[in-house]
Structure 1
Amino acid sequence: MSGSKNTKQLRDIKYSVLDLSPIVVGGTPAISFQNTLDLAQHAEKWGFNRYWLAEHHNMPFIASSATSVVIGHVAAGTSKIRVGSGGIMLPNHASLVIAEQFGTLESLFPGRIDLGLGRAPGTDQRTAQALRRNLGSNGEDFPEQLMELLAYFDPSLAAGKMHVRAIPGEGLNIPVWLLGSSGFSAQLAGQLGLPFAFASHFSPNNTLGALDLYRRSFQPSNVLDKPHAMVGVNVIAADTDAEAQLLATTLQQQFLNLSQGNEVPLQPPVENLEDHWSKYQIDALQHQLGSSIVGSPETVKEKMQAFLDDTQADEMMVIGQIFDHQARLRSYEIVADITK
């Protein structure tokens, strides 16, 4: 990949938003959904390409568990920006249900819906059982589930085996993305000629290897004639480096709490993490948050360009887990400004 570096500038690619509809301390899911729509409307105005929502369950700091419903809420309150899932965790669902849900969304909002798919449950074993899926599945049957889903949209892929039809869904052109944090989905996306989105925001050490595997595995399809890779990245931007570093302590606390099984709403920033956590715990954050970009407009621009140099991504999907909604809006506004 080194030979291809420095061929892309920030203005050459598109930028999107990944939203977990965060629930903050003292907040409610209702407030989270209001803030989600407000951010989506601003993102559309600022020129972002996509607005994706993530499926997680049994997490007190994430409100987007009924992902398809929230996608409809966002799409209804916007007019141009693409809206989709980042992602739907397919092992939690019957493929037919997802085909119908996204067929419905595409019918309501033509040409604006994306279906990003992951193979992890996005939750714990007990919650997976509550979702009434087979606990024996560990994601190994994901390729079969995926092909079943694709065939609901395009019955010709089923070679005459399909007896059940997805209505709405059948015959609709809904872009399907594979999401991943390792090589499995990267290789599968390449083999099927699908676009691929990598979760650099929590798996930074696997980023370059997975992107390389995707590109080397890629087979042209009726969807894409060449690889199309998007990378997720935590970006926390503010008017000064110091302010951004303070805001970033919310994200850091989220990961520190998760590492201890302490699932709580999103916490306000703290002046000094060392007052609350050990140096060992804070150093371990680098393993998951090493690619995070935090700082003033100048700092963020420089770091985003370096990340683009390394990844040669076709798109970047920006995640901003920021406690204060106005500060979150400002962070995305800065990203929009520096990437024009």
Structure 2
Amino acid sequence: MSTTFQCSIKRIRFDENYEPANNTRLTTNFANLARGESRQENLRRTLAMINNRFNSLATVDNPKGDRYSLEIDIISAEIDIEGNGQAFPFIETLKSTIIDHHTHTNERIEGMIGNSFSSYVRDYDFSVVLPSLGCKFNEKPEDFGDLHGKLYQHLVNSEVFKAEFNKQPVICLSVSTTKTYYRTANVHPILGVEYTNEDYSRTDEYFAKMGLSVRYFKPENGNAPLAFYCAGDLLRDYTDFELISAISTMESFQRIYRPEIYNTNSPAGVVYQPSLSYGDYSLTRIVYDRIERGELAVKQGKWTEENFIKPYKDILDEWAANFTVVNVQQNQAA
């Protein structure tokens, strides 16, 4: 095909002065926190929560619990379908860097790439496609997520992505409120107690089409398991600090966004059914508009349909029909 689906990557620092870019998905955790009268205090408290959680897990030679802090960059990846400079904002993830304050040079250590996952096409799939087909709870068409999965794999296997990051992303999300999770005897020194469930959720299957498999772990002193989506071996391919950076970042966001699951007053038991109607939880001091987030997902899904899916339908269909990860790698080697 003549089209190249050119990828590009931009970075913006997530700190107390962060302001969302014009093309940022406003449903993202970090964008939602950065609006309104409380924006700067929200950001300051969120970053403090992340740093405190990191230090609570990185305890070696850290007696005061203040040795490390995280620098977080928002990674925005765009795809230019026709190679004409008209780039579509495809996904946003987070990249962390760990700062060791007990060294004279404030040594910088690689943290995780991935963490949060924000996607306009995912909004379209879940907020436009499923309702338009009248899909009931956990129902979906057979090809649901096919295009999104192939676009994602095209991005992470591109030379542009590999030039920026030396590892594949690990996406860390909330567990599903539609499934029951069972504690196993497997305990990882960083990730904590592993949980399992009997069948995939619709989200798990969606991420599987991105080439990602899922494992569930509840870190030490955490209230509920987190879902870790990874293309490789989660336990072998990543350093302890990378894993801790993912836990501290995403568990903090989930405590803000889903306190009924991650900021409860008692931890998950041997058999665990997450529920947003659970009442025994504490609120953080961080303002988060969850209702607005759901409304924006629908609006942004429809925007994606009008500005990406419909205009490029024929090109996308032909490209997806011929796409394999092997083809991407062969093209790059040529």
TM-score scaled by length of structure 1 = 0.31
Query: Which structure features the higher share of helix residues?
Result: 1
TM-score where L is the length of structure 2: 0.32
Report which of the two has the higher share of strand: 2
